[in-house]
Amino acid sequence: MAAKDVPLHEAAKPLQWLLGKWKGQGKGIYPTIKDFEYIEDLEFFHVGQPMLQFSFYSVHKDTNKILHREVGFLRIKPGTNQVAFISSHNNGVSEMAEGTVEGQSVGLESHTLGRMSFGKDPQTKKLKRTLTLEGDTLHQVLFMETSNVTMTEHLRATYKKVEY
């Protein structure tokens, strides 16, 4: 629930370019799986604190099968360009990543990944992602390292804003 009548926290202003609902398409690749295409909805909103709240929801492009759900917070350290990305994934992974915001680009690298005790192998060991706005197109690229594959590109998507 966005706080439309609450002003954006001053510290969160470097992230305001992300605010709104985005819809796009992407491609998933990885050495251990068959390539796939997906449709994804992103939403970034605020409640007046020095952070944005987000949700990422994806479905398979051809079958409409639910693929991935992710919810969390993108928090900025007031007075700096340092950001923390705190995320919970529907596959049982909790991610804590940190990085920076530079203009209209956020670069993040995980330093802590939690995993539910009954998650299936291979284990996710590290994630790196970038979110970059070029013109009116948002780009997201995600790299993943698992217990059996070194850091490799996994997802690449582009989005258009559908609601502010």
Pairwise pLDDT comparison (159 vs 2), residue with the higher score: 159
Q: What is the pLDDT of residues 20-73, one digit of tens each?
A: 999 999 999 999 999 999 999 999 999 999 999 999 999 999 999 999 999 999
pLDDT mean over 119-136: 96
Ramachandran angles phi, psi of 4, nearest 5°? -65, -25
The CA distance from 136 to 117, in Å, is 41
Confidence at residue 1, expressed as pLDDT on a 0 to 100 scale? 55
Instruction: Write phi, then psi, for 14 (nearest 5 degrees).
Output: -65, -15
* Residue 27, pLDDT score: 98
Q: pTM above 0.75?
A: yes
- Integer-rounded Cα Rg, in Å, for the chain is 16
Find residue 53's DSSP bridge partners. Answer: 45, 73
